[in-house]
Amino acid sequence: MHIMEGFLPSPWWQLWWIISMPIVAYGVYKLTKITKKMPETKPLLALVGAFVFVISALKLPSVTGSSSHPTGTGFSAILFGPAITSAISVIVLVFQALLLAHGGITTLGANVFSMGIAGPLIGFVIWTIFKRTRLNPSIGVFTACAVADLATYVTTAFQLALAFPTNGSILTSFETFFAIYAITQIPLAIAEGLLAVLIFNFLSKYKGSILQRLGVLKIPISNTEKEVKP
């Protein structure tokens, strides 16, 4: 759910820039480190970046000055962690702002924080907890991605409430934004979780060894990779 260009007043858009950019810088460092250590992850990183770009560009009208959409960053956090996801998200959001007029440059810090930091962090924590259980990984993927999506819109509602309190009340404003977002975001979160499961199972089947090296899986879901080797 992107906040659109020029919608956040000062000092809020500057504040979110200040908060988000150091985290993104750390994410770029982690991204550089993993591509040097594991060059074979580059195609997967490109795939995840494309997935986030496409799915988060599917916006629906929502609160005035904003929009609702899937994010894809929960899935990225499962594979690469929240830090690298923040770096991926800033690239995606800059391209969307420049090419699609989706979001904006002044609001980039706020959008990165909600979509690329807060949501992915919550999703990553949930996925980490599920990995320690014996439940089917698909359950963990669905839950992590759906909740990451919802956490993103909760964060956006909070950001808007801070900037536009109703009669001086941040809580009242948050409740208003939260209620309006929920109408579109809950079904979008469920759909995103289901799509993430399909892609995760595909990657586990054909790229299980890479997911093992990334620490995403303990063992591949199938032995397909071994079977196709001569």
182-205 tens-digit pLDDT: 777 888 999 999 999 999 999 999
| Record: fold of 12-228 | Arp2/3 complex 21 kDa subunit ARPC3 (1.10.1760)
Tell me: pLDDT of 89 over 70. Answer: yes
> pTM of this prediction?
0.89
Mean of all residue pLDDT scores within the chain: 89
pLDDT value of residue 6: 82
Residue 137 falls in which region: left (phi positive, over 0), alpha (psi -120 to 50) or beta? alpha
